[in-house]
Structure 1
Amino acid sequence: MTVFDEFNEIKRKGLPQILVIFGESRELVGELKNQLLTEVNFEPTDLSQAYYDLTPSNSDLALEDLESLPFFSDSRLVILENLVNLTTAKKSVLDEKQLKRFENFLDDPPETTQLVLILYGKLDSRLKVVKKLKAKATLLEAQELKSQELIQYFSRISPLPKVVLSLIAAKSNDNFSVMKQNIDLVQTYALGREVTLDDVEKVVPKSLQDNIFALTDLIFKGKIDEARDLVHDLTLQGEDLIKILAILTNSYRLYLQVKLFQAKGWQENQQVAFLKMHPYPVKLANQLVRKLNVKSLKNGLSDLIKLDFDIKTSAADKSYLFDITLIRLTLKKN
């Protein structure tokens, strides 16, 4: 069950008196916040509702709203965003007296007041006020969605077929906000017609993973100049060599596994099930390693693991070490 499934269940039962939406994924917390505002039909001019993105300058007013009885309705909804005192972030918007007022509210919340907290980060469970909050509130933690969960979620709110969403998820590195942007991008490009896989390939920008697959293709084909140019372009775009190395190493590990699967006669769907990963990289890996041998992949993986050790322990420049290994990988004949 994803956090969105949990939220739908909460909405079905009716919002609790105190709801806390929190998590380290700002994108998912933001999405839940938008869904909440839609659910309660939030309107800034509605005197039965109040929303505060907390700062030291508006904290007193927010607490007064929280403590006050409703005047023009039977109940009052107060939404407080960024009450960072409750998180592990070393920041605060409430001073000690204000935090005590908030604790007093938690001790005896008026039945006519509903509170929603929207927090970006982890709750600091060591704090007394957080312990009180956990005892009183319904907690909704926004955790990153796995690939299949992303596809499932967007298939409910998007007309795109799952096979298209699957490719977009892979090209978005299973990032919620990036996937959302890319869905909008391909739908705009398609101008109302059905979106195809070709549309995704044409329109969605290449991810770092896509570029690493392109890099390994150049390596396997012995195209050293093009391989070095691609690495150079990636670093100019702000990608760190350590990150490139990590993905390249994981890619080689996947290639070796897939090559061994091919030797056993395993089909791609069997490989995906065993590896428990997205089908897209498995499909690309099967295409790349078909003409390679196990020995060359083992040697390449060994070289990359050694490079990682050398970068972390050697005084030599990491760009130099990376370049030497790249040349060795590209020129290797077996």
Structure 2
Amino acid sequence: MSVFNEFEKIKNEGLPQILVIFGEADDMVQELKGQILDFVNFEPTDLSQAYYDLTTTNANLALEELESFPFFSDSRLVILENLVNLTTVKKSVLDEKQLKRFENFLENPSSTTQLVLILHGKLDSRLKVVKKLKSQAYLLEATELKTSELIQYFGQVTLLKKNVLEKIAEKSNDNFSIMKQNIDLVQTYALGREVTTDDVEKVVPKSLQDNIFALTDLIFKGKIDEARELVHDLTLQGEDLIKILAILTNSYRLYLQVKLMQEKRWQEQQQVSFLKIHPYPVKLANQLVRKLSSDFLKKSLLELIQLDFAVKTSVADKAYLFDITLIKLTLKKV
């Protein structure tokens, strides 16, 4: 069950007295933050509600909200963000005395106060206060969604068809925030009409990973001029050669793994399960390496590893070194 399914359950059953939204997937934490604020109809002028970002607010004011009784309503909602003392981040916003006050609240929370904590990071389970929090609170951990969960979630919050969402997920490399941006992009382009997969192809920009697949396809086909031109275009767009090299090396490593699994007659689904990565690059890799030999891929991968070492240790221009290796790879016999 995804974190959004859990949140739907909370909305149906009612907000718990203490809710903790946390996780290292920051885009997911931000999304859940927006959803919780919408759910409680948060309004800064509402005296029964209070929100404090503890990185910019006097912590004593926030703690006073927790310790006080509501004046103008039967209950009070307090939302605290960035109480980093509770996470593995090596920072603090509460001193020892303030942290003890927070711990006292956890030991004896007022029945009229509801608390929502929004934490950007991992809970530090070694801490006594965190152990106490876990025993008292409903924990909602923001973790990266699988492809199927992304498609399910955006299928619920948009009117886009499943095949369109699958294509957007592929081109977004399963990144939640990028997928959200790309959905906004195609919907704006469609101007109210039904979005198609052709719209996605036209509007959603190629990721660097997609461009690297295109580059390797040109290399395998011996198209040196087009390959050099693509690298030149990528650097003009601001991509760093070392980053391109790192992704290219990882891609060749994937190609070799896929080729070895092809030789064992493994199906794509088996390969994905073993590699534990998104099915899309595995599918592309299978198409690219079908007519290549594993020996060719091993030698090519070695060239890239040697290039990485040369770029990091040689005084020669990295663009020159990259270009020389690109020519070698393109001229190498399949």
**TM-score normalized by the length of structure 2:** 0.88
The corresponding residue for 1:108 is: 108
Q: 1:25 to 1:320 in 2, by over 3 A?
A: same
The 2-side partners of 1:7 and 1:310 are apart by 50
- Read off the aligned partner of 2:86 and give its amino acid letter: L
Q: Which residue of 1 aligns with 2:268?
A: 271
* Correspondences of 1:285-304 after superposition (within 5 Å): 285-289=285-289, 291-304=291-304
Residue of structure 2 in register with 1:137 after alignment = 137
Gaps in structure 1 of 5+ consecutive residues: none
Q: Aligned to 2:89, what secondary structure does the other structure show?
A: coil
Q: Which residue of 2 aligns with 1:93?
A: 93
* Counterpart-to-counterpart distance in 2, 1:250 and 1:164: 28
- SS for the counterpart of 1:140 is strand
3-state SS in 1 of match to 2:280: helix
| Alignment coverage as a number of residue pairs | 330
Separation in structure 2 between the aligned mates of residue 91 and residue 299 of structure 1, nearest angstrom: 47
* C-alpha contact (below 8 Å) 1:56/1:93 kept by paired residues: no
Can you list the C-alpha shifts for 1:291-334, whole angstroms capped at 9, x where unaligned? 5444433432333344445556x445554443332121011133
Structure 2 match to 1:125: 125
Distance 1:56 1:31 in 2: 21
Superposition pairs of residues 1-334 of structure 1, within 5 angstroms: 1-55=1-55, 57-256=57-256, 270-276=267-273, 277-289=277-289, 291-308=291-308, 311=311, 314-317=313-316, 318-334=318-334
User: d(CA) in 2 for partners of 1:183 and 1:273?
Assistant: 30
State the Cα distance separating 1:238 from its structure 2 match. Answer: 3.9
Q: C-alpha distance in 2, partners of 1:223/1:6? A: 51
* 1:225–1:316 Cα change, 3 Å: farther
Matches of 1:239 and 1:147 in 2, distance apart?
Answer: 27
The worse-fitting range, judged by mean Cα deviation, of 3-12 and 162-171 is: 3-12
The letter of the residue matching 2:271 is: F
Which range moved further: 109-118 or 256-265? 256-265
Separation of aligned partners in 2, 1:290 and 1:264: 13
> 1:149 and 1:49, CA in 2 relative to 1: closer, same or farther beyond 3 A?
same
Deviation at 1:262, TM superposition (A): 6.5
5+ residue gaps, structure 2:
none
Answer whether contact 1:52 1:80 (CA < 8 A) is retained.
yes
Q: Identical aligned pairs, as a percentage?
A: 78
- Distance in 2 (CA, whole Å) between partners of 1:118 and 1:286 is 42
- Over the aligned positions, Cα root-mean-square deviation in angstroms equals 2.5
Q: Which amino acid aligns with 1:161?
A: K
Cα distance, 1:121–1:333 mapped onto 2, change above 3 Å: same
Do the aligned partners of 1:3 and 1:142 also contact (CA within 8 Å) in 2?
Answer: yes
Given the two structures, how large is their TM-score scaled by the length of structure 1?
Answer: 0.88
| Offset at residue 49 of structure 1 (A) | 1.3
